[in-house]
Every structure is written in C-alpha cells, then in structure tokens.
Structure 1
Amino acid sequence: MRVILAEDSTLLREGLVRLLAEEGHDVVAAVGDGDALVSATAAYRPDVVVTDVRMPPTHSDEGLRAALEIRRRWPETGVLVLSQYVEKRYAAELITGDGERVGYLLKDRVVQVGEFLDALERVGAGGAAFDPEVVRRLLARTTHADPLATLTAREREVLEKMAEGHTNAGIAGQLFVSASAVEKHINAIFDKLGLAHSAGYSRRVLAILRYLGS
C-alpha cells in the first residue's frame, strides 16, 4: 500500500515510517505540515494518507483541513486521521460524504501496533475505522429527547461496535452472541433510529455517525 504520513513530531513520524516499511507498505512521502501533505498527495496519489489534526504553523486544525481537502479532491484516497484528543466537530466533518476510506484514531491507539495497522488496512480497503473512545464520546452527546434513548443496553453495545467499523461477525465474536442475534439487534437499531439498512458496514457507520452528529 502506498502511504503518505503527515506528523510534525519528527520522532513519531520517523517511527511510523519505519513501522510501515517493515510491514511492507511503501511510504512515498513523510511531511510535517498540512500544505506539504496536500502537495505530496497531488504528486504521489497514495492509497492512504495518515495525518495528525494539529500541525504547524498554528497547531490548531491544519491537518484536519488538509484531510478534508484531500477527500474533496481525491475521494479515491483513504484518509486516516490521528488526534491527541476527541475532536467531536472534526469527526463529524470528516465523515461527511460516502463514509468510505476514512478513519479517526486517538494517538494512544498507535501504540497498539496491531490496532493501528488493522485500521490502516481497513481504510485502504475502502472501509472505515473509528476509535472506540471517539464513538463513545459521540454517543455521549445524546439527550433524553433523542431516539437513541430508546435503545436497550445491548443495542447500544452493538451500535458502538458498528460505529467502530466492525462487521456483524466481528460484533458477534466480541459480544459472545450469535450472528443472528446481532442481525436482530441491528434491525432494531435502524428501526428505532429511522435509518435505512445497508449491507456495507462502512455505510452503516456513516448513517449512524451522521445521525449522532445532527
């Protein structure tokens, strides 16, 4: 997989370059700011870009704005955003579109090498990968008047796993229930939220997170 990294911390950037190279990925560019990320994407057209949210010169949202521009100009390029914090507004902006080839991980997740690489592969394959903590924070935005309040505890667990990007089989394995039980919970969730059922899990993530961000 052809990857571009955007991270202003030289130590972290070089560490990720080495990790991805060892895993067989081709890191075609490693840059330290948002403008350089957009320019490198235009030049190399990678499969996935991995970018921090906060980069020079203001260390506010340069990386996020670059990621959004990349999604607009090159929708075939996957975008995996890394952040030190749960940026709720940024997460909502990031998933606007078809919900494919997109991910949002907290930087702590990068330490879990297997989870980071799995997220990268998932985004590169056209799917979605959202950090569990991001999903929990988005769910926490709901109020008593929200239809999410009608979900059972188990349905909320299934919803969280769906929003993380897991397949039905993956959810069944993690919650120790049958695949048919997961399907029933998912149907109930979509009925209660008024969301159309979609066969692709990444599209389900988009529908759910769009609703949560409304």
Structure 2
Amino acid sequence: MIDKRLRVVLAEDSVILRDGMVELLGARGCEVVATAGTAPELLAAVAEHRPDVAVVDIRMPPTHTDEGIRAAVEIRATEPGTGILVFSQHVETAWASRLLAGGAAGTGYLLKERVARTSEFMDALHRVADGGTALDPEVVTRLMRGGRRSRVDTLTPREHTVLELMAQGHSNRSIAASLVVSERAVEKHVAAVFTKFDLPATDTDNRRVKAVLTYLAEQGR
C-alpha cells in the first residue's frame, strides 16, 4: 500500500525500545539512517543525514525532562525539510506549542500507550514525512486547554507521588524506601519537578520548599 522508502533518524534513549523500533521500521520498508540516545546525537544525525523524518522521544539524558522536544524545535528551525514525529509517553504542552508555532505541516505527536496498531504508527510516519500532520487527540485536547492547566497537572503520576511525599516531609531516601526504587530514581523525579515548576538552582537553594509550597497552593490547601 505504501511503497515510499523513508529515511529515518530515530531518537530514543531506551536501547531495547530503540533496537525494536529499528527492526520494525526496517521490516516496514524504512531505512533507519541513524539512531540517537541523546539530544546532541539527534541534532548531529539530522544535520549529517537530512532524513525524511526524525522520530523523537521527549525525555532524554541527562535530565530526562524535555531534551528531546527541545531538539525537535531546533530541528524545525534549522532543517525545515525534515518531518518531526514526537513519540512519547508524555505531553509537554509548552514545547508542543513551540513545535507547532510555525505551522503543523510535517509534524506529528503520538502517545506511546495510545498507539494500538503498528499500522497507525506507520501511517502517521508517512503522513508527517509527506508534509502532513499526525496529532493524538489527547495532545490536541491538552493544547486547547493551554494555560488553564496548573503546573501540578504537568507532572507524571510518579512525579506527583514523589512531590506529595515531599510535602509530607519525606527525604529522598525515605521516598525511595516508600516507593521501593533507588534514591537516584527519586532524584531524577525531583529534578523533573523543579524543571516543570521553573525552579532553577540558587546560592540559597530552597527549591524543595518552593516546590512544596507551589504544590499546596495549586491543590487549594
């Protein structure tokens, strides 16, 4: 049905998922010209190979917050001939709005858990490469809500749980024990909360307190 052989750059920091997608795309007639595990690798690969489309995850090293979609916005500005298909578990409305600011042509945004069939993903990939648009309805709904979403609403379920435990006075070590995860994992979630709440590090770093105060204020407590 679709005979165009697409040249694809794939940005995904999970090695297992990345390898699986390379096999899938190859079996469906695409040529994966490069893969990337970080945003700088993605930018370099697109600049070198000029693919038809770049498939981009939002959260990539080192902070696992929004490096991927930041790179996607940069690619839209520097390589307008390359389609962008964001493929993620998360909706980042602010960066999605910037990604679409110059027009939706050649842009897609799909949520991993809502793609039920491989054919849906491949159809979206080809549509974006051909200059069309492929937006998950949930992404559209979030964008339409725009600024009415609170900062707490931008958190993932796990980030929300971590912030709630912070508000209860738990340390990172205590949170790790409660959630049965590593302390390093908790640190990543806390860093993501700081980023989404726009709380940069300062000399008198009290971001933890400010994050909790923001949480309590927006929860109406």
Flag whether TM exceeds 0.5 (same fold): yes
Mapped contact 2:75–2:82 kept (Cα < 8 A): yes
Deviations 1:6-39 (A, max 9, x none): 0000111111111100000000011101000000
Query: Bigger CA drift: 106-115 or 39-48?
Result: 106-115
- The alpha-carbon deviation at position 60 of structure 1 amounts to 1.0
Pick the aligned partner of 2:11 from 6, 9, 34.
6
Between the aligned partners of 2:24 and 2:92, the Cα distance in structure 1 is: 26
1:54 and 2:59 matched: yes
Q: Residue 198 of structure 1 aligns with which residue?
A: none
Between the aligned partners of 1:90 and 1:40, the Cα distance in structure 2 is: 21
Between the aligned partners of 2:19 and 2:115, the Cα distance in structure 1 is: 13
Q: Residue 24 of structure 1 aligns with which residue?
A: 29
Between the aligned partners of 1:78 and 1:113, the Cα distance in structure 2 is: 19
- The alpha-carbon deviation at position 111 of structure 1 amounts to 4.8
Percent identity, aligned pairs only, is 55
Q: Residue 99 of structure 2 aligns with which residue?
A: 94
Deviations 1:157-196 (A, max 9, x none): xxxxxxxxxxxxxxxxxxxxxxxxxxxxxxxxxxxxxxxx
1:104 and 2:109 matched: yes
Mapped contact 1:109–1:116 kept (Cα < 8 A): no
1:115 and 2:115 matched: no
Q: Residue 187 of structure 2 aligns with which residue?
A: none
Change (3 A) 1:136 1:38: same
Deviations 1:101-120 (A, max 9, x none): 10111111445211111110
Between the aligned partners of 1:63 and 1:118, the Cα distance in structure 2 is: 22
Pick the aligned partner of 1:45 from 35, 46, 50.
50
Between the aligned partners of 1:139 and 1:114, the Cα distance in structure 2 is: 27
Using the size of structure 2 for normalisation, the TM-score is: 0.62
- The alpha-carbon deviation at position 138 of structure 1 amounts to 2.7
Mapped contact 2:108–2:134 kept (Cα < 8 A): yes
Q: In the alignment, residue 98 of structure 2 is paired with which amino acid?
A: E
Between the aligned partners of 1:91 and 1:98, the Cα distance in structure 2 is: 11
Using the size of structure 1 for normalisation, the TM-score is: 0.63
Query: Bigger CA drift: 30-39 or 94-103?
Result: 94-103
Q: Residue 127 of structure 1 aligns with which residue?
A: 132
Q: In the alignment, residue 104 of structure 1 is paired with which amino acid?
A: Y
Structure 2 residues not aligned, in runs of 5+: 1-5, 149-221
